Amino acid sequence: MAEDETAITPPHGFVRSERRGPFTEHNGPLFHKADTDSTVHGFQALKRHCNGYGIVHGGMLASFLDGLLGHAVGAAAKRPAVTIHLSLDYLSMARAGDWIEGEAKVTRLTRDVAFAEARAYAGSTDLIRATALFKLMGRKTV
């Protein structure tokens, strides 16, 4: 199992995400699929992402989906957004060494808020799903 993040080899089509902010940089590395219109991100679970039971910490999965949802909303709205509600359902578990992917989509976009949903999975096993509400900030960046 890789603990050295320089040893991570993401699946084909994924590139390392840069400039994600200090919290995400500290908890990463995270990757994104560069050749698709959908919002698909991933990470390899490292030992440091796990809790005392040796499974990926629920907080890591929650943070991963929150960032993924925010990215999807920002791309759809063409402006920054902040989470105002996040609802999570934990479905299964993952362990260090697993490649975890997540996908998100915006389900409704208004002038001031956006609704989105996401899921994360390891292989064919869904780990967590989320629905969220985001407050759209500032002006459109076009």
Q: What is the pLDDT of residues 28-64, one digit of tens each?
A: 787 878 776 668 889 999 999 999 999 999 999 999 9
Ranges 9-13, 15-19, 135-139: which has the least confidence: 15-19
Letter string b/e over residues 78-117, b meaning 16 or more CB atoms within 10 A of that residue's CB = eeebeeeebebeeeebbebebbbbbbbebeeeeeebbbbb
**pTM beyond 0.85:** yes
Number of domains in the chain: 1
Identity of the highest mean pLDDT range in 2-6, 38-42, 124-128: 124-128
Q: Is the pLDDT of residue 142 over 70?
A: no
Range of the domain at 49: 5-136
Q: Is residue 141 in a domain?
A: no
User: Do 45 and 54 touch, CB atoms closer than 8 A?
Assistant: no
Ranges 6-15, 40-49, 100-109: which has the least confidence: 6-15
For residue 12, CA distances in Å to 4, 15, 31, 77, 123 come to: 20, 9, 11, 28, 15
Q: Is residue 26 in a domain?
A: yes
Q: Quote the mean pLDDT of the chain.
A: 88
Q: Is residue 56 in a domain?
A: yes
Q: Is residue 142 in a domain?
A: no
Instruction: List, as one string, the DSSP characters of 42-109.
Output: EEEPPGGGB-TTSBB-HHHHHHHHHHHHHHHHHHHHTS-EEEEEEEEEE----BTT-EEEEEEEEEEE
User: Do 95 and 45 touch, CB atoms closer than 8 A?
Assistant: yes
Q: Is residue 71 in a domain?
A: yes
Which CATH number fits the domain that encloses residue 9? Answer: 3.10.129.10
